Amino acid sequence: MLYFAQVADSEGRAGMQTEEPRRRTARRPPDRKARIVAAASGLFRARGYHNVSLADVAAEVGITAPALYRHFRGKPDLLLHVVDSTVAVVAASVAAAPDLDSYLRAAASQAQDRRGAAVLWQREARHLPEDRRKEQRRALSAVAEGIGELIHADRPELDHAEIQLLAWAALSVFASISWHRTSLPRRRFEELLHRLAHAATHCPLGTGPAAGAEPAPGGYAALAMSRREEILVEAIRLFDERGFQSVSTDDIGEAAGATGPSIYKHFPTKTDLLVAAVVRGGEQRRAGTAQALSLPGAPRETVERLLRSYIDFVLSQRHLIGLLVGELDQLPEKERRGARQAQREYLALWVRLLDEVRPGLDPAEARITVIGTLTVIDNAARTGTSGDHPNLAERLSEIGMAMLLT
């Protein structure tokens, strides 16, 4: 908003005053910086960091680009503030909670108001400079430690690794709604998120089979590392860590120890690498799914086998999971439609099987439950503190079944 001031100048002439023309003085609204951060948050979530310019953000706020530079040095600085502010809200919620259930209920309510926030720290934070990314990871780890302290107060018998696994699971439940649009009336949505997070954090651990007691379904054996495979593996890793648009074919070649011509021999363009990676992921998941469904058993046993199949897939392909989560929008239109359709069909399979275990479950609640469960698994595989957890597959199976059956 602009304010105008009128300046009267007395010239000391007897009986006379002259009035100078009005001079406009623009006063910046006290919340302009917050409005810029909020606008950038929405645009980064919707379009992705590389597809948003400072001019876009300025237009969203209703200011000029030079006015935006009064608050931020550039787009990287703006992204840093966006990510930091998002994580700070989560940290404040944890710090304010007197106990675990209070946090879970508050977070379940706040998640709906901040829907989409997790996209910023899970996808867009990759575009921060390395030192800033480390700071952001430390901030999130501190949040998980805070949740862990609340869990420890309720479950002192658990060791630190188990507590951290459950803490990240709780964070993942609330983050999961950032990646889909399925909704419910607010009160029902809040109660469902609370139940899922409560089921995850109060799940009995160590009740499943010991590691190695039976082979997990899926059979994602390591592939022979031909030159083509080496290039594809490094491309998947770099696309996940930095984002598709931030990686060049030279980066991939250097990581794979290959020259430019060698890469083009196998993949004519960088987009061909992305397409090959997504196709590879779809094939592997389908193979594991078919194997899990091929065995006889009661509906609950089928759901548990499918869950173990997904866990096996994710734990063996964590960079591929990151790519599937964050980079599908970079695919050509035909391949993007195909990948989205495959995701919808996979989710529909889960919803159908869950309905056989829990007849009459509302389809929207079933979708939110399944996505929350799969997100917990995805994030556990991609979180450094969880990756080395002993018996991680067994613990994730226990957490997942607790959430699916809550």
Between 51-55, 158-162, 306-310, 382-386, the lowest mean confidence (pLDDT) is in: 382-386
- Type of residue at 307: L
For residue 98, what pLDDT is reported? Answer: 98
For residue 184, what pLDDT is reported? Answer: 96
For residue 386, what pLDDT is reported? Answer: 55
Q: Which helix (H) or strand (E) holds 5?
A: strand 3-5
For residue 15, what pLDDT is reported? Answer: 43
CA angle 241, 180, 50 (to 5 degrees): 40
For residue 223, what pLDDT is reported? Answer: 46
- pLDDT bucket at 29, cuts 50 / 70 / 90: low
Q: Is residue 156 part of a domain?
A: no
List of long-range contacts for 380-386, beta carbons under 8 Å, 24+ apart = 380/165, 380/168, 380/169, 380/172, 381/314, 381/315, 381/318, 381/321, 382/318, 382/321, 382/322, 383/168, 384/137, 385/141, 385/144, 385/164, 385/168, 386/164, 386/165, 386/168
- pLDDT bucket at 303, cuts 50 / 70 / 90: very high
Rounded to 5 degrees, what are φ and ψ at 8? -105, 135
Neighbours of 333 (CB within 10 A): 7
Q: What is the pTM of this model?
A: 0.85
**Beta-strand relationship, 18-19 and 3-5:** unpaired
Q: Cα separation of 242 and 225, whole Å?
A: 23
The model's pLDDT over 71-91, given as tens digits with 9 standing for 90+, comes to 999 999 999 999 999 999 999
What is the chain's mean pLDDT, rounded? 87
Q: Is residue 235 part of a domain?
A: yes
The residue ranking higher by pLDDT, 30 or 143, is 143
For residue 27, what pLDDT is reported? Answer: 57
The model's pLDDT over 270-282, given as tens digits with 9 standing for 90+, comes to 999 999 999 999 9
For residue 338, what pLDDT is reported? Answer: 95
pLDDT of 5 > 50? The answer is: no
Q: Are 180 and 248 in contact (CB under 8 A)?
A: no
Q: Cα separation of 378 and 272, whole Å?
A: 25
Q: Are 200 and 163 in contact (CB under 8 A)?
A: no
Q: Cα separation of 374 and 44, whole Å?
A: 24
pLDDT of 326 > 80? The answer is: yes
Q: Which helix (H) or strand (E) holds 187?
A: helix 186-201
| Mean pLDDT confidence for 30-43 | 92
Q: Are 91 and 146 in contact (CB under 8 A)?
A: yes
The model's pLDDT over 238-264, given as tens digits with 9 standing for 90+, comes to 999 999 989 999 999 999 988 767 888
- pLDDT bucket at 388, cuts 50 / 70 / 90: low
The model's pLDDT over 133-153, given as tens digits with 9 standing for 90+, comes to 899 999 999 999 999 999 999
Q: Is residue 59 part of a domain?
A: no
| Mean pLDDT confidence for 5-24 | 40
The model's pLDDT over 208-239, given as tens digits with 9 standing for 90+, comes to 554 443 444 444 444 446 888 999 999 999 99
Written as six digits, the tokens of 399 are: 């957490």
Task: Tell me the three state secondary structure of residue 311.
Answer: helix
Exposure of 143 by Cβ count < 10 A (0-12 exposed, 13-18 middle, 19+ buried)? Answer: buried
Q: Is residue 55 part of a domain?
A: no
Q: Is residue 111 part of a domain?
A: no
Q: Are 262 and 227 in contact (CB under 8 A)?
A: yes
Q: Above pLDDT 70, what percent of the chain?
A: 87
pLDDT of 206 > 90? The answer is: no
pLDDT of 95 > 70? The answer is: yes
Q: Cα separation of 333 and 206, whole Å?
A: 45
Q: Are 379 and 168 in contact (CB under 8 A)?
A: yes
Q: Is residue 162 part of a domain?
A: no
pLDDT of 201 > 90? The answer is: yes
The model's pLDDT over 151-189, given as tens digits with 9 standing for 90+, comes to 999 999 999 999 999 999 999 999 999 999 999 999 999
Q: Is residue 91 part of a domain?
A: no
Residue numbers of the domain that contains 389:
207-405
| Mean pLDDT confidence for 338-354 | 96
**3-state helix, strand and coil shares in percent for the chain, rounded to the nearest 5:** 70, 0, 25
- For 356-397, the DSSP string reads HHSTT--HHHHHHHHHHHHHHHHHHHH-HHHHT-TTHHHHHH
Give me the CATH number covering residue 387.
1.10.357.10
- For 111-139, the DSSP string reads HHHTTTHHHHHHTGGGGS-HHHHHHHHHH
Q: Is residue 187 part of a domain?
A: no
For residue 385, what pLDDT is reported? Answer: 55
- 20 Rama sector, left if φ>0, alpha if ψ -120 to 50, beta otherwise: beta
- pLDDT bucket at 384, cuts 50 / 70 / 90: low
- Report how many domains make up the chain: 1
- Please compute, for residue 334, the number of CA atoms within 13 A of its CA located in the half-sphere on the CB side: 3
Q: Above pLDDT 90, what percent of the chain?
A: 73
